[in-house]
Amino acid sequence: MLVRNVQKWVHKQNLSLLLVFISLNSFSFSQNKIKETSLHRFHHSLFITQSFQKMDNFSSLSWMLQSNKISISSSLGIGLNRTIYQYRFFPQLQFGFGYSLLSLKKGSISPELSLLLSTFSTLERHYFSSIHAGYLFTYGSRWFFNHRFNAGLLNEKFVNSFNRLSSANTIGWQFSIGVGYAFE
């Protein structure tokens, strides 16, 4: 009778140890999968671009934050023609929001919405604001190449000679190329 009880106990203990081993093993593999596909992994990158636009050519320093398929970017640039040759400081601030539709091995193509704000002063101050739709193409891993093309509505505001605020709308566009560095 005692031997039978010991055999039952050993059998139950072996079964319990097997279940614990299987559970721990499956938990360890599931944790690795969760770490590999984390939804909260952010990638920061800095890049410099040369942008050709309707109003001027801009050299910009840009920053981008990417998380999975969503990217948010901002850049600060300076209009070269008006700033250097016409002696009018022409800064530009740009914000972009993109969603990666096509992910390549080392790159992506993202539709993007951009907001561009700039100003310069002649006899009066001119304000430019535009909203563009287009795409952003990036290729590379640590060092990468980027290309952006977008177009949309461009609004110019200024105070006219009658001291009234005048506004004019037209079509604006942007073509830019650049190189950047991604921080992990």
Average pLDDT of span 131-157:
93
Place of tokens 């614990």: 20
CATH of 44-183, one of 2.60.40.10, 3.30.470.10, 2.40.160.20, 3.40.50.1370: 2.40.160.20
Q: How far is CA 180 from the centre of its chain?
A: 12
CB of 47 within 8 A of CB of 177? no
Rounded distance between C-alpha atoms, residue 47 and residue 25, angstroms: 43
Query: Which residue has better confidence, 136 or 38?
Result: 136
Place of tokens 């990158």: 45
Write the pLDDT tens digit of every residue in 153-171. Answer: 999 998 887 888 899 999 9
- Predicted structure pTM score: 0.72
Query: Which residue has better confidence, 1 or 123?
Result: 123
Residue 18: is its pLDDT beyond 70? no
Residue 34: is its pLDDT beyond 50? no
Q: Which of 9, 152, 135 is nearest to 73 (CA)?
A: 135
| Predicted confidence band of residue 38 (pLDDT cuts 50, 70, 90) | very low
Radius of gyration of the chain, Cα coordinates, nearest whole angstrom:
28
Write the pLDDT tens digit of every residue in 71-116. Answer: 999 999 999 998 998 888 999 999 999 998 888 888 889 999 999 9
